[in-house]
Amino acid sequence: MALFRRGGKDPAPQDTVETEAGEPTVVDDRLELDDDPQASPAPVERTGGPWDAAQVDDDLPRVDLGAILLPGVQGMELRMEIDKATNVVSAASILLDGSSLQVQAFAAPRTDGIWDEIRAEIAESVTQQGGSADDLPGPFGRELLARLPIRTPEGRTGHRPARFIGADGPRWFVRGVITGRAAVDPAAATALEQLFAGIVVVRGTDARPPRDLLTLRLPGPGTPNLKPSDAATSPEAGETPAAPDFDPLTRGPEITETR
């Protein structure tokens, strides 16, 4: 799902829309002027995950996806979303017990978090496209419980629940989208929330524009049960998005790993 558009002459924030390629783009092409790769980022007070690579010294096994180190959970299915146009890995999706968590990591400014701003943009876009979004407290701070517009095979208009969760870190931001039963059932959400909390972000020291998608890669060849997969079906298999399209789990070609 593309959260951001590339800025042109107008620096104002843009609405959240799904691009044809499904690739997150950059709001502003300018690099952070104070982003000295050798300088230490501003401290971020964290009492729980997701974590920065510099904050973690545990021995929890994680799958190396480049910018994201993802905890392995028994029974999960990992699907790497690939942009058809660029062949770039754009997101990772974890399917577990009938629910799904999509995760992406982005560059962020040195001094300010961006989740508050992004959350407002998502809520505005969902509302404009015929859905609704409630800004609520959650285990990671403020989050959105959205009802995304869909069209059923019978041509009816309905809504599908989705939770947008996010965490600001030192010069990075990680976003998750939970769909399926875990979007509305707290008990069903526990495993995916714990997985999100165990994520480690490897930001790197290079200067990047705010909201630039951090580089993901496919798991290494030694990853067990790695196999090609056709485009996946969301938990609501019989539903199709209503126009205009706002499906945060639109997928391209994928690689699936079953643990």
Q: Is residue 213 part of a domain?
A: yes
Give the model confidence (pLDDT) of 143-190 as tens digits: 999 999 988 888 888 899 999 999 999 999 999 999 999 999 999 999
On whether residue 181 sits in a domain, the answer given is yes
Measured in degrees and rounded to the nearest 5, phi and psi for residue 61 equal: -65, 130
Write the secondary structure of the chain as one string of H (helix), E (strand) and C (coil).
CCCCCCCCCCCCCCCCCCCCCCCCCCCCCCCCCCCCCCCCCCCCCCCCCCEEHHHCCCCCCEEECECEEEECCCCCEEEEEECCCCCCEEEEEEEECCEEEEEEEEECCCCCCCHHHHHHHHHHHHHHCCCEEEEEEECCEEEEEEEEEEECCCCCEEEEEEEEEEEEECCEEEEEEEEEHHHCCHHHHHHHHHHHHCCEECCCCCCCCCCCECCECCCCCCCCCEEEECCCCCCCCCCEECCCCCCCCCCCCEEEEEC
Tens-digit pLDDT string for the chain (259 aa): 444 433 333 433 333 333 333 333 333 333 443 444 444 444 455 578 999 999 988 888 899 999 999 998 889 999 999 988 888 899 999 999 999 999 999 999 988 899 999 999 999 999 999 999 999 999 999 999 999 998 888 888 889 999 999 999 999 999 999 999 999 999 999 999 999 999 999 999 999 999 999 999 998 765 543 333 333 333 333 343 333 334 333 333 334 444 4
How deeply is 242 buried, as exposed, middle or buried, from its count of CB atoms within 10 A (0-12, 13-18, 19+)? Answer: buried
Query: How far apart, in whole angstroms, are the C-alpha atoms of residue 131 and residue 120?
Result: 14
Per-residue model confidence (pLDDT) at position 238: 38
pTM metric for this prediction:
0.73
Domain assignment of residue 8, yes or no = no
Residue 94, domain member (yes or no): yes
Q: How many domains does the structure of the chain reveal?
A: 1
Q: Considering the domain boundaries, does residue 124 fall inside one?
A: yes
Would 253 be classed as within a structural domain?
Answer: yes
Q: What pLDDT was estimated at residue 132?
A: 96
44 belongs to a structural domain = no
Containing structural domain, residue 113:
51-218+227-258
pLDDT (0 to 100) of residue 11 = 38
Identify the pLDDT of residue 227.
34
In a domain, 45, yes or no: no
User: In the prediction, which pLDDT does 112 show?
Assistant: 87
The answer to whether 38 and 205 have CB atoms below 8 angstroms apart is: yes
Q: What is the pLDDT of residue 73?
A: 86
